Structure 1
Amino acid sequence: MTDIDEEGAPTLHRLRRELARGTAELAVLSILSSGRRYGYELLKLLQSAGAGVLEIKEGTLYPLLHRLEDAGLIVSSWEVEGGRGRPRKYYSITGDGRVHLALLRAEWSELVEAMRALLDTLDGVHR
């Protein structure tokens, strides 16, 4: 399957993948703002909450978590639940992460509003 349709435009699948990459940081920090999560749990929450639109895969999530940790926006710790079982790496948002999340949310809101205004204007022109 190609990423270009008959008219030469990118397919919806490719556009969704690009949007997911661009919004992954906002999504991860938003989830972690409600409490600590381990990697696989984050992955499942992102996939289920995204309703098939946010196609975030392990190959995207784990490098992102490392970047966020290197930037001081999240911290991680290895823990064993209930004293038994395999250790899991839990991630938590930091104070700096909360500040960064607030900035990302504000930027996202501005972007959505600007796109809504643009599309509404263009809808009026094309009627």
Structure 2
Amino acid sequence: MANQSMNQFKKGILPMLILQIIADEKDYGYNIVNRFNARCVAGMDIKEGTLYPILHRLEEDGAIVSEWVMASENGKPKKFYKITEEGKLLLEEQWSCWAQIEGMVRGFEKKHISD
């Protein structure tokens, strides 16, 4: 049951967190996964199979754009993702919503603990 709950929470929050990773620095998929996993707690890590559908949706929504860049180390092109102005506005709005949700949840947590 706990694993199912964690998956539901992840599904809702991952696009915002991925967008934040890209806002911090444009990057390609494999590195985005590594940067995300380096910052997250156990159980929240992601794989590339989780990332790419999120990137696709963010790009469809206009929050990010992608471009192919030739990699110097092996000569193969890599698809880099970069946040757009629209994406920056969306991310700001999402963080604001998250702060409200976090405050609401904390209010319930404190009440629950004191009962």
- What TM-score comes out, normalization by structure 1 length? 0.83
Show the counterpart of 1:74: 64
Structure whose alpha-carbon radius of gyration is higher: 1
State the distance in 2 between where 1:47 and 1:83 align. Answer: 23
State the distance in 2 between where 1:59 and 1:36 align. Answer: 19
1:87 to 72, 77, 86: 77
Alignment of 1:30-45 (within 5 A): 30-45=20-35
Tell me how far 1:97 sits from its aligned partner. 0.1
* Structure 2: segments with no counterpart, 5+ residues: none
Tell me how far 1:16 sits from its aligned partner. 1.9
Figure out how many residues of one structure are paired with residues of the other and give that number.
Answer: 115
Q: What letter corresponds to residue 108 of structure 1 in structure 2?
A: W
* CA distances 1:31-61 after superposition (whole Å, capped 9, x unpaired): 1111201001011112221122323222221
* Structure 1: segments with no counterpart, 5+ residues: 1-9
The structure with the greater share of residues assigned to helix is 2
Q: Is the 8 A contact 1:29 1:93 kept in 2?
A: yes
Matched, 1:25 2:12: no
Moved more, 39-48 or 51-60: 51-60
**C-alpha root-mean-square deviation of aligned residues, in Å?**
1.5
